[in-house]
Structure 1
């Protein structure tokens, strides 16, 4: 099931974006969507009946010029976007997720989790946290962990809140889509390996982030972040050439119409290039893989209001479109 977006599509930057679509009873297929919300089936346009989005990204440097030509071709066969269901744009092999990457968010956490015997005023504690963040940006490394592709769902699909998830929360994030194999690349060259960008909402059950039975072993990202549907993705992959500045994109998440997150990527501690470079130092990034870049301030724990049955989240990022996700409690 899914909840319909407010319109067939939200605007995206540039002349085209890529998506994975399906007709009512048909298979999923990779599509080019133009600014007039018209769709080209890339299986037909590129003469490859078995083509998937990941196949397309495997050939990204060679196929990008053909996509530019297709969007400008008046003879290419197009159909209205409204005829199709919008799915998650890509099925990655690997998902790299980032924590504690927005300055204000981490400062808020630092202040909120003060030691019981710390009686200093909040202003002093905030100043201390800001100094730590500045030092971390200059001297430290990003915090990256692994997510599961099985948690991904479409941008308008309903998300089931498992009965065991007592504190489900939202985390709107800019997601990087890899377009070339990348291993041990520098930050200076990292963006050359990026095909484009999309939207991810990295849902998290706060109650299971830390193991209560063995607190000394730290975080349990498997349980807290990887339930089926816990990563709504899309709707589009917008090519890098259409996203002029990843350092100043606005992330906005509304819960039942009320703004909860509203922040610029200017607040990132580690930018996109440093995130991609860092992830590539330990493992090879593959075409179609995702690098999620962290979530800004305004999560449910900040507001004291977590997700529950019937909630609707509207999430958008400048130039990348928007997603709308409804939460349903798991039936007992």
Structure 2
């Protein structure tokens, strides 16, 4: 299934994509796509619905982040061989783990506002993994059973805040609009191999990133298992799994007002975001 949340910011309703590409309203079946409603049993029940019997959502409705009530955004740095090479940093012996504040969440169409004083705002197309059931000290071979679904994410970063202002990376990762998520949450039955997905991103129509999750240093199942050694992953937690080569940092070029970012992942949909003026509202909603 391809699940989503549609409507005004902070008032989104749940929906799904029907076989004909139309959006169908799920609000009579489930209150929201929230952490307590993303178990395998919940997905089985929704799978049993006839999309044609659900109300159609009018075309052009805004899409919000496809998951409500996200508690944590846990991120992995330098997790693609080609990205490590472009930065000149050796592949890490263990995953580099950091956080984004949930206040960065926005929908797949942004906009992405430049933070005040931004000099090096960057893009990072990433596969996002959404946890569906609590995962603590899980084995790698069992890890994917805890995944509710996958979606596209843009791990927007302000590199000056991240790398030149001291302290933790979270400062450069957490401004409003810095985590566009969606358009859909795609359930695991439609993603049989999360290590076989093409990831791409364009800025102003120029292809900057074009990689594959097969190039990950640490694959998704390992990451879920690894993180669960140090924390109890909760339903609704989002893991951003790293980005392939082609970042602004790798090219020494960064985003400016008026730029347009477009990105996508095979089978998970596309995002399209304008870069807006310093301090503008994110317009995305949680």
TM-score by length of structure 2 reads 0.91
Give 2:81's aligned residue: 103
Residue correspondence of structure 1 range 56-135 to structure 2 within 5 A: 58-70=37-49, 72=50, 74=52, 76-80=53-57, 82-91=59-68, 92-110=70-88, 129=90, 133=91
Give 1:165's aligned residue: 118
Q: What is the SS of the residue equivalent to 2:63?
A: strand
Distance 2:237 2:113 in 1: 24
Distance 2:106 2:254 in 1: 20
Residue from 189, 211, 234 that aligns with 1:286: 234
Residue from 263, 266, 272 that aligns with 2:211: 263
Q: Which protein is bigger by CA-based radius of gyration?
A: 1
Residues 177, 196 of structure 1: 8 Å contact kept: yes
1:282 to 1:307, Cα distance in 2 relative to 1, 3 A: same
Residues 29, 42 of structure 1: 8 Å contact kept: yes
Residue from 20, 24, 48 that aligns with 1:40: 24
Give 1:120's aligned residue: none
Residues 98, 170 of structure 2: 8 Å contact kept: no
How many pairs align? 279
Cα RMSD of the aligned pairs, angstroms, is 2.0
Give 2:283's aligned residue: none
Is 1:178 aligned with 2:158? no
Distance 2:63 2:169 in 1: 28
Residues 98, 145 of structure 1: 8 Å contact kept: yes
Runs of 4+ in 1 over 6 A off after TM superposition: none
Q: Which moved more, 1:197-206 or 1:220-229?
A: 220-229
Residue from 245, 250, 274 that aligns with 1:302: 250
* Bigger helix share: 1
Give 1:156's aligned residue: 109
Residues 117, 278 of structure 2: 8 Å contact kept: no
1:288 to 1:26, Cα distance in 2 relative to 1, 3 A: closer
Residue from 22, 31, 43 that aligns with 2:15: 31
Uncovered stretches (5+) of structure 2, i.e. residues with no partner? 281-286
TM-score by length of structure 1 reads 0.79
Uncovered stretches (5+) of structure 1, i.e. residues with no partner? 1-15, 112-128
